[in-house]
């Protein structure tokens, strides 16, 4: 046993050395030749552990993200020898892999239409634009990972995918939006469209490989059947129209007499509190003093996706790497008493979204957490004049 541990330790050290050499600029080919035996024996778990440790030792996550494609290229020999995760129809992994197949067909459809347009077939332009619209499937695919799989993996101490893949997701999101904008421009710059598409498609297909050979095997090894059951149930809720989404049911808290919970200005039943929170025209998320997400309101027109999987998750892990420093800065300022409110406003999907963070403090002024309040204020901004009476026709 001790020999196995020593060998595993040496293999991990060698993998970390490979990663550091990649970041120092050495070529994939030279590393494959130098570390051939180590690479051949490397498992997805070995690679993930090595990446996790070099991050802990100070290698920036952003740098890992930039070169994760090279990591896969170096370790591809070892990864190829591993069987695909076991899955059956209806299992989240089966559905996840099926989505990759559908996305592959979308890419092939775009490539076929693009080739015809480049060959001078103007009639293929409409097909090209329609096919490009289906790229939104990729964004929903990544949304599933970010809101369901990543939080559960983090509960097992496996945070590498959410720290690295989420950043890559954001880059692909931007590439898709840019490509769709280019395809709808007039006149159409075909050479630019082709170049942008090829870069985007390569990133998407590389992500297929990382999911199939690293993320899914690791998930199958770590997650319990109860985890998969929860993910399956939450997957269905993510696919529902926001207007029909059902409120998340929390465990019943300890209540006061007569089935009501005593509050500072009244008493309400659990049902009444839930109805009130889910019918407010705002989305609410509560994070406690330990930076853990404790609650979110599942309103009928929720702006940003939330799932039950984030309960107990560190708020820093609920945001992509590019914006974690902003969130951390707000929380640090709240905790230090430097500010009590932070607010932002953005334009998104035809909505004008107002996002506010409020520090929560007890009667003695001790920091108790933060509440995030998000609202589409488009209709409010458009109000003019006065309306003093109810208009039944409105």
pLDDT digits (tens, 9 = 90+) for 209-221: 989 888 988 898 8
Q: What is the mean pLDDT of the chain?
A: 82
Domains of the chain: 2-80 (no CATH), 92-236 (1.20.120.520), 246-381 (3.30.450.20)
Residue 243: what pLDDT?
Answer: 34
Which is more confidently placed, 289 or 73? 289
CB of 350 within 8 A of CB of 191? Answer: no
pLDDT tens for residues 334-386? 999 999 999 999 998 889 999 999 999 998 999 999 999 999 999 999 999 88
Name the DSSP letter for residue 318.
Answer: G
Longest dimension (CA), the chain: 82
Q: Which residues of 263-289 are buried (b: 16+ CB within 10 A; e: fewer)?
A: eeeeeeebeeebeebbeeebbbbbbbb
248-261 per-position pLDDT tens digit: 333 333 345 567 88
In this prediction, residue 71 has a pLDDT band, given cuts at 50, 70 and 90, of: low
Q: Is there a contact between 190 and 119 (Cβ–Cβ < 8 Å)?
A: no
- pLDDT score, position 288: 96
Q: CB atoms < 10 A from the CB of 365, how many?
A: 8
The answer, yes or no, to whether residue 168 has pLDDT greater than 50, is yes
How confident is the model over 19-46, as a mean pLDDT? 75
Q: Is the pLDDT of residue 239 over 70?
A: no
User: What percentage of the chain exceeds 90 in pLDDT?
Assistant: 35
**What average pLDDT does range 308-326 have in this prediction?**
89
| Chain segment 73-116, per-residue pLDDT in tens | 666 766 666 654 455 677 888 888 888 888 988 899 899 889 99
235: which residues sit within 8 A by CB, 6+ positions away?
Answer: 92, 95, 144, 148
The reported pTM is 0.65
CA distance 39 to 157: 24
Comparison of pLDDT for 37 and 376, the residue scoring more = 376
Model confidence at 393, in pLDDT bands (50, 70, 90)? low
Q: Give the residue among 226, 204, 208 at the shortest CA–CA distance from 216.
A: 208
Distance CA(383)–CA(381), nearest Å, equals 6
Give the pLDDT band of residue 4 (cuts 50, 70, 90): very low
> Residues 140-157: what's their mean pLDDT?
90
Instruction: Compute the distance between CA of residue 93 and CA of residue 257 in angstroms, rounded to an integer.
Output: 46
DSSP structure string for 239-271 = HS-GGGPPPPPPPPPP--GGG-EEETTEEE-HH
User: In angstroms, what CA-CA distances link 337 with 200, 206, 299?
Assistant: 44, 45, 31
CA distance 224 to 226: 5
Q: What are phi and psi of 213, to 5 degrees?
A: -100, -15
pLDDT at site 186: 79
- Of 13-27, 149-163, 197-211, 321-335, the range with the lowest mean pLDDT is 13-27
Confidence (pLDDT) at 74: 66
Q: Which residue reads 């999101």 in tokens?
A: 173
Rounded to 10°, the helix 61-80/2-23 angle is 120
Predicted confidence at residue 236, as pLDDT, reads: 75
pLDDT higher for 124 or 44?
124
């Amino acid at each position: 046993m001790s020999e196995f541990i020593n060998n595993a330790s040496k293999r991990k050290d060698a993998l970390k050395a490979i990663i550091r050499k990649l970041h120092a600029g050495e070529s994939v080919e030279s590393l494959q030749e130098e570390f051939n035996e180590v690479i051949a024996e490397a498992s997805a778990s070995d690679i993930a552990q090595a990446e996790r440790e070099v991050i802990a030792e100070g290698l920036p996550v952003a740098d890992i993200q930039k070169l994760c494609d090279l990591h896969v290229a170096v370790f591809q020999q070892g990864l190829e020898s591993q069987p695909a995760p076991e899955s059956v129809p209806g299992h989240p992994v089966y559905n996840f892999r099926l989505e990759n197949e559908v996305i592959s067909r979308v890419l092939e459809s775009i490539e076929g239409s693009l080739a015809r347009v480049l060959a001078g077939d103007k009639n293929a332009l409409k097909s090209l634009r329609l096919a490009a619209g289906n790229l939104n499937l990729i964004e929903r695919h990544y949304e599933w990972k970010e809101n369901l799989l990543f939080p559960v993996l983090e509960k097992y101490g496996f945070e590498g995918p959410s720290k690295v893949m989420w950043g890559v997701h954001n880059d692909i999101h931007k590439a898709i939006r840019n490509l769709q904008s280019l395809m709808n421009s007039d006149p159409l710059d075909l050479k630019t469209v082709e170049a942008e598409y090829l870069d985007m498609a390569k990133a998407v297909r590389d992500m297929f490989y990382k999911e199939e050979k690293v993320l899914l095997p690791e998930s199958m090894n770590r997650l319990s059947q109860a985890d998969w059951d929860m993910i399956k149930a939450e997957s269905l809720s993510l696919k529902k129209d926001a207007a029909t989404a059902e409120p998340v049911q929390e465990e019943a808290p300890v209540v006061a007499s007569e089935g009501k919970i005593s509050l500072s200005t009244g008493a309400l039943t659990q049902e009444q509190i839930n109805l009130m929170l889910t019918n407010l025209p705002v989305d609410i998320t509560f994070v406690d003093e330990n930076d853990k997400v404790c609650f979110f309101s599942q309103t009928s027109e929720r702006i940003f996706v939330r799932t039950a999987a984030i309960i107990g998750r560190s708020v820093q892990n609920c945001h992509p790497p590019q914006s974690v420093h902003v969130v951390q800065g707000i929380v640090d300022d709240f905790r230090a008493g430097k500010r009590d409110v932070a607010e932002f406003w953005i334009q998104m999907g035809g909505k004008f979204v107002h996002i506010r963070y409020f520090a929560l403090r007890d009667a003695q002024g001790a920091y108790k957490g933060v509440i995030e309040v998000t609202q589409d204020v488009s209709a409010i901004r458009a109000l003019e004049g006065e309306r003093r009476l109810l208009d039944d026709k409105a």
